[in-house]
Amino acid sequence: MSSRMYLRSACFLLLLLAAPSLVALDIVPAPPQIAARSHLLMDVHSGRILAEHQADQRVEPASLTKLMTAYAVFQELKSGGMKLEDEVRVSKKAWRMKGSLMFIEVGTTVSVKDLLMGMIVQSGNDASVALAEHTAGSEDAFAALMNQHAERLEMHDSHFVNSTGWPDKKHHTTARDLSKLTRALIAEFPDYYPWYSVKEYTYNNIRQSNRNRLLWLDDRVDGVKTGHTESAGYCLITSAKKNDMRLLSVVIGTKSEDGRIKASRALLNYGFRFFETHRLYEAGQSLTQMRIWKGEREQLDLGLAQPLYVTVQRGQRDKINAQMRVNATIMAPAFKGQNYGNVEVSVSDEMLNTRPLVALQDVPEGSIWRRLVDTVLLWFE
């Protein structure tokens, strides 16, 4: 380790030791220096970015690609397009794949669930191709499906050409895009996400361990995925939970497996030590009632379609300020989910989150008499 890197590490350790007094003074130190091509630390619930470096730099994702492969397959399972019990016949292309494998054999049939476990736990390239072909008919068609999901998730700097992460100049993403993908996977598929915490899996009498060593080293960690090629370096996306706070770290392009472990732990320790996340409002909770004109009823409940979380520095909960800005005049008919304003959350004049205020129920137009009366009353408003 160079003297400069040693000095940085020593300074960060001193800051951690002094953390109680720093938090009390509303001071948060700069994030740790990470020896990686790019990185990002996010709170999963609120979406707030707590640390980042070169997060929009295009990188080769290696096997982190398989998060999008899994996401696309999970969507098909959710829609009913396939089932976990479906049997998939292994093609020559899947069988001939190199790199990390679950060792499926050409011409045999393997269930979708076994293939998913082989891809998630063992990072099997053969399993990824078999799933892609079963889902979309060919890996090329599946790549087009992956890109459609990427566009919907606003992964603007990502493009996929295969299901495995096999190197290709046209196959790229960013740390920020990967955080969007992983956050969506965790939120949308709570029944499948626990598979990323499985430490080992046996198929064809071959037992293999999960490549994510943090599953053994840190009790807070419950996923997500490793990746490595010579050109991409060592990569790791990690999710960890402590109490009600869940963090997501993305580390791209370290020089060693130990490097990605140390970088991920440093980011997670920083986030859990200096920040806290609070759920301010529940989904569907009535936050305010507004007069609705010319409707069957006179009051319209407004709230949020999704829970609202806010991540702040430790000790700043009392400084959270939430304001509602609502349309001045609301006319019937109103439809559930329709936007009528915003909730704005700030801390010490720093805007942290803005969410739409939506109608929590339908309010159809009232009778002719009600509309006539409200027309007259509106003249005096």
Same domain, 267 and 374: no
**Which amino acid, residue 10?**
A
Residue 23 lies in a domain: no
pLDDT score at 20: 46
Nearest to 120 by CA among 112, 170, 90: 112
For the ranges 11-15, 123-127, 251-255, 319-323, which has the lowest average pLDDT?
A: 11-15
Same domain, 45 and 144: yes
Same domain, 56 and 171: yes
User: What DSSP line would sit under 78-137, residue for residue?
Assistant: HHTSS-TT-EEEPPHHHHT--SS-----TT-EEEHHHHHHHHHTT--HHHHHHHHHHHHS
Domain boundary among 274, 295, 327: 274
Over 80: is that where the pLDDT of 17 sits? Answer: no
Same domain, 355 and 269: no
Q: How far apart are CA 207 and CA 29, in angstroms?
A: 44
At 206, which CATH number?
3.40.710.10
Please give the tally of structural domains in the chain.
2
**Which amino acid, residue 269?**
N
Residue 178 lies in a domain: yes
Q: Residue 255: which residues within 8 A CB-CB, separation 6 or more? A: 35, 233, 234
pLDDT score at 297: 94
Taking each helix axis as running N to C, give the angle between helix 175-188 and helix 66-79, from 0 to 180 degrees, rounded to the nearest 10.
30
Same domain, 258 and 169: yes
pLDDT score at 377: 86
Residue 9 lies in a domain: no
Q: How far apart are CA 158 and CA 170, in angstroms?
A: 9
Catalytic residue among 66, 180, 225, 262: 66
Q: What is the mean pLDDT of residues 265-290?
A: 96
pLDDT score at 381: 77
Tell me the percentage of the chain whose pLDDT exceeds 90: 85
Domain boundary among 221, 239, 274: 274
Per DSSP, what are the bridge partners of residue 357?
A: 341
Q: Sorting pLDDT into bands at 50, 70 and 90, what band is 151?
A: very high
pLDDT score at 2: 43
Catalytic residue among 38, 63, 128, 249: 63
Q: What is the mean pLDDT of residues 3-16?
A: 42
Residue 92 lies in a domain: yes
Over 90: is that where the pLDDT of 358 sits? Answer: yes
Residue 16 lies in a domain: no
Residue 27 lies in a domain: no
Residue 3 lies in a domain: no
Tokens of 107: 């011409």
Q: How many CB atoms lie within 10 A of CB 93?
A: 15
Same domain, 151 and 286: no
pTM assigned to the model: 0.88
- Could you tell me the residue range of the domain that residue 50 belongs to? 33-274
Same domain, 124 and 258: yes
pLDDT score at 14: 41
Rg value, the chain, Cα: 25
Q: How many CB atoms lie within 10 A of CB 230?
A: 8
Is 63 considered catalytic here? yes
Over 90: is that where the pLDDT of 154 sits? Answer: yes
Over 60: is that where the pLDDT of 15 sits? Answer: no
At 301, which CATH number?
2.60.410.10
Please indicate whether residue 25 or residue 44 has the higher confidence score (pLDDT): 44
* Burial classification of residue 123, based on how many CB atoms lie within 10 Å of its CB (0-12 exposed, 13-18 middle, 19 or more buried): buried
Same domain, 44 and 115: yes
pLDDT in tens, 103-132: 999 999 999 999 999 999 999 999 999 999
Same domain, 259 and 286: no
Same domain, 261 and 133: yes
Q: What is the mean pLDDT of residues 61-69?
A: 97
Is 66 considered catalytic here? yes
Q: How far apart are CA 130 and CA 127, in angstroms?
A: 5
pLDDT score at 356: 95
pLDDT in tens, 166-223: 999 999 999 999 999 999 999 999 999 999 999 999 998 999 999 999 999 999 999 9
Q: How far apart are CA 283 and CA 23, in angstroms?
A: 31
Q: What are phi and psi of 280, to 5 degrees?
A: -80, -45
pLDDT in tens, 69-85: 999 999 999 999 999 99
pLDDT score at 26: 61
- For residue 261, what is the DSSP state? H
Tokens of 104: 């499926």
Same domain, 240 and 293: no
Strand, helix or coil at 93? helix
Q: Sorting pLDDT into bands at 50, 70 and 90, what band is 27?
A: confident
For the ranges 154-158, 233-237, 346-350, which has the lowest average pLDDT?
A: 346-350
Is 255 considered catalytic here? no
Give residue 91's Cα distance to chain centre: 32
Catalytic residue among 123, 128, 158, 264: 123
Per DSSP, what are the bridge partners of residue 227?
A: 235
Over 90: is that where the pLDDT of 6 sits? Answer: no
Domain boundary among 274, 299, 332: 274
What average pLDDT is seen over the chain? 92
Q: Residue 312: which residues within 8 A CB-CB, separation 6 or more? A: 275, 276, 277, 278, 319, 320, 347, 352
Same domain, 246 and 336: no
pLDDT score at 277: 96
Taking each helix axis as running N to C, give the angle between helix 66-79 and helix 112-120, from 0 to 180 degrees, rounded to the nearest 10.
150
**Which amino acid, residue 305?**
A
Over 50: is that where the pLDDT of 25 sits? Answer: no
Over 90: is that where the pLDDT of 349 sits? Answer: no
Residue 10 lies in a domain: no
Q: What is the mean pLDDT of residues 6-10?
A: 41
